[in-house]
């Protein structure tokens, strides 16, 4: 190769996000162990020295392409399963938050308001949509510990005494 060598081509392929996962193989006359180590260290999946056997090269390429396709399918399945788990987690959070609202008569949709306020504040902190959505959904749990506060304290009309107040302010720890 007149301008750049195979190592440079491999390095460029592996640095490019579009081509970095494509399996690259060396076919070369350079048969020293250090040459092979260098090629594999750069990200090549195979290092074949000349003279070559065409059927063996084709078989190895088919094997690497099959592995590549399997990896793509596994990544797709992992993403699919991750999405399912996220949906399940969100459903659990929503149900727990709803349960917390039933426990506290003075909520008046407080949990829902808090989630939207939290989303607004989060969007001013970052542009990371996944983090903003995480804050939005998880903020619904901010008072979930009130489920552990006895009704006589939580629903009491009037001011709480010192002992009742200490129970009430423990609800974040109960929720955690």
Question: Which residue stretches of 104-157 are H helix?
Answer: 110-125, 129-138, 151-154
Q: What is the per-residue pLDDT across 78-104, written as a single tens digit (0 to 9) for each?
A: 999 999 999 999 899 888 887 777 776
Residue-wise burial string across 60-77, b where 16 or more C-beta atoms lie within 10 A, e elsewhere: bbeebeeeeeeeeeeeee
**Residue-level pLDDT at 59:** 97
State how far the alpha carbon of 156 is from the alpha carbons of 99, 160, 163, in Å: 19, 8, 13
Question: Which residue stretches of 16-109 are H helix?
Answer: 33-41, 54-103
**Which letter does DSSP use for residue 23 in this model?**
-
Q: How confident is the model at residue 155 (pLDDT cuts 50, 70, 90)?
A: confident
Q: What is the per-residue pLDDT across 93-143, written as a single tens digit (0 to 9) for each?
A: 888 887 777 776 555 678 888 899 999 999 999 999 999 999 999 898 888
Domains of the chain: 6-73 (3.40.50.2300), 83-175 (1.10.3210.10)
Rg (CA), the chain: 29
**Residue-level pLDDT at 35:** 96
Residue 156 has pLDDT above 70, yes or no: yes
User: Is the Cα dihedral 82, 83, 84, 85 positive or negative?
Assistant: positive
- β-partners of residue 175 are none
Residue 2 has pLDDT above 70, yes or no: yes
Q: What is the per-residue pLDDT across 37-71, written as a single tens digit (0 to 9) for each?
A: 999 999 999 999 999 999 999 999 999 999 999 99
Residue 17 has pLDDT above 80, yes or no: yes
**Residue-level pLDDT at 96:** 85
Closest CA to 99 of 147, 170, 155: 147
Pairing of strands 46-49, 25-28: parallel
**Residue-level pLDDT at 105:** 59
């Amino acid at each position: 190769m007149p301008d750049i060598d195979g190592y440079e081509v491999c390095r460029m392929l592996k640095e490019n996000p579009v081509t970095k996962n494509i399996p690259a193989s060396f076919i070369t006359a350079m048969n020293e162990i250090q040459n092979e180590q260098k090629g594999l260290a750069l990200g090549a999946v195979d290092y074949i020295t000349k003279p070559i056997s065409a059927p063996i090269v084709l078989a190895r390429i088919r094997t690497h392409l099959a592995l590549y396709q399997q990896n793509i399918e596994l990544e797709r399945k992992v993403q699919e399963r991750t999405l399912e788990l996220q949906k399940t987690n969100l459903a659990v959070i929503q149900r727990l938050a709803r349960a917390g609202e039933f426990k506290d008569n003075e909520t008046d949709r407080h949990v829902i308001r808090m989630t939207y306020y939290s989303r607004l504040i989060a969007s001013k902190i970052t542009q990371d949509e996944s983090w903003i959505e995480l804050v939005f959904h998880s903020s619904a749990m901010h008072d979930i510990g009130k489920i552990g506060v006895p009704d006589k304290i939580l629903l009491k009309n009037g001011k709480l005494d010192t002992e009742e107040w200490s129970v009430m302010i423990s609800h974040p720890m109960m929720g955690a």
